Amino acid sequence: MDASEPLRWRRDPDTSRTVRLLWSLGVGTFFAVSTIIIFWRLYDMAGQVGGRSVVAAALAAVLVTGVAFALSADQRHLERLADRLPISDPTDVSLDRARDAILGTTAMIVVIGSLMLVGRIVSQRGLLGDLGAGPFTGLAALTLPMALVALLLASFLRSVGAYDPDERTIYLYDPDQAIDLEVIEGASVRRIGDVAIVSFDYAQPDGRYVQGPRRLALPPRVADEVVDGVDGR
């Protein structure tokens, strides 16, 4: 490839395992909490008529069906199942996101449900004295702010764009934005796994504030080229 050819990249749930995992667990946690609340109410109501086993079996059946749907390797089978749902024209991307959400929801139901179950057992047996189920309930409650952090990180790490060495410009898409390296005085890189976080120091001509992202999540190769472009001007 020519050295001056634009370097293009795409980091989203389809191309980055980190973004995909963060998105899946973040969304899955909120769905899991909602599911557990609904199940718990139905479980308590069913206890009045002796139908708790039916509610538990129904939840297990839904989870097993969801996991089977998510793990199905036959794309056409997934599309046929999706056609029965109230959604229009399912795409490969939407099916992938649905699969990730289902797996994330199932995983977090297991995690949160296990914490609540252990907390209840500990409380009933008095194993932690006055603390009761408090520590386990607290850990379960912490999954919500952690899910929000995961979604924020997934949003930050997601980026689509191109770097043109000739124009010394970074082009970002979704949303569209152009960053001219001429207005950047310095750049530094910190690598975390398969992503490089590039920090920019913008010039302030006549004391004016220059708008633009102060940090970008880029592939390591693109990050190195951008830093070289800033340092080599």
Q: Mind listing the pLDDT tens digit for each residue in 103-125?
A: 899 889 889 988 888 888 888 77
Q: Which residues pair with 7 in a beta bridge?
A: 163
Residue 209 is given by DSSP the state: P
- pLDDT number for residue 49: 75
Q: Is the model's pLDDT at 192 over the cut of 70? A: yes
Report d(CA 179, CA 166) in Å as an integer.
13
The CATH H-level superfamily of 159-231 is FACT complex subunit Spt16p/Cdc68p (2.30.29.210)
Phi, psi of 51 (to 5 degrees): -115, 25
In degrees, rounded to 5, the angle at the alpha carbon of residue 158 between the alpha carbons of residues 153 and 161 is 150
Helix/strand/coil for 3: coil
Phi, psi of 144 (to 5 degrees): -70, -55
Share of the chain above pLDDT 70, in %: 87
- How much is the pTM? 0.76
Domain map (residue ranges) of the chain: 17-157, 159-231
- pLDDT number for residue 125: 78
The confidence band for 147, taking pLDDT boundaries of 50, 70 and 90, is very high
